[in-house]
Amino acid sequence: MRRFSFIGRLGSDDRAAVRLVESESAVYEIDFLDGERRIGFGIGQALDQLASLGLRPTERAIDLVLLAAMVNAGDTRVSRSNNAQDGWTREIDLYVPVSAARAWNEQRQHIEPLLKFLTGDRWRVFFRKRPDRTGTLAIEPKRLAINGLTEVSLLSGGLDSLVGAVDLLANGKRPLFVSHYWDSETAKAQDYLLRALGKHYSQDKIKRLRVRLGFDRHRLNTGETETTQRGRSFLFYALAALAASAFDRPTVVNIPENGLIALNVPLDPLRIGALSTRTAHPHVIMSMERLTDALGLSVDFSNPYRHKTKGEMVSGCADGAFLREVVGSSMSCSSPAKARYKGLSPQHCGYCVPCLIRRASLRVGLGVKDPTKYTVESLHAQILATDRVEGEHVRSFQLMVKRIRNAPELAKIFVHKPGPLIDAPNEIPDYADVFRRGILEVGKLLQGVTAKPGGSQ
The rounded distance, in Å, linking the Cα atoms of 49 and 384 is 47
pLDDT at 65: 98
pTM, entire model = 0.95
pLDDT at 456: 55
pLDDT at 242: 98
Residue 417 CB neighbours (<10 A): 15
The DSSP H or E segment spanning 4 is strand 3-9
pLDDT at 274: 39
DSSP 3-state assignment of 127?
A: strand
pLDDT at 272: 44
pLDDT at 275: 43
pLDDT at 454: 78
Run means of pLDDT, 10 residues per run, the chain, 457 residues: 94 93 96 86 95 97 98 97 91 98 97 96 97 94 92 98 98 97 93 98 95 93 93 96 96 98 85 63 97 96 98 98 98 90 91 96 97 95 91 95 98 96 96 98 97 74
pLDDT at 455: 62
Burial 256-274 (b: 16+ CB within 10 A, else e): bbbbbbbbbbbbeeebebb
pLDDT at 405: 98
CA atoms within 13 A on the CB side of 210: 18
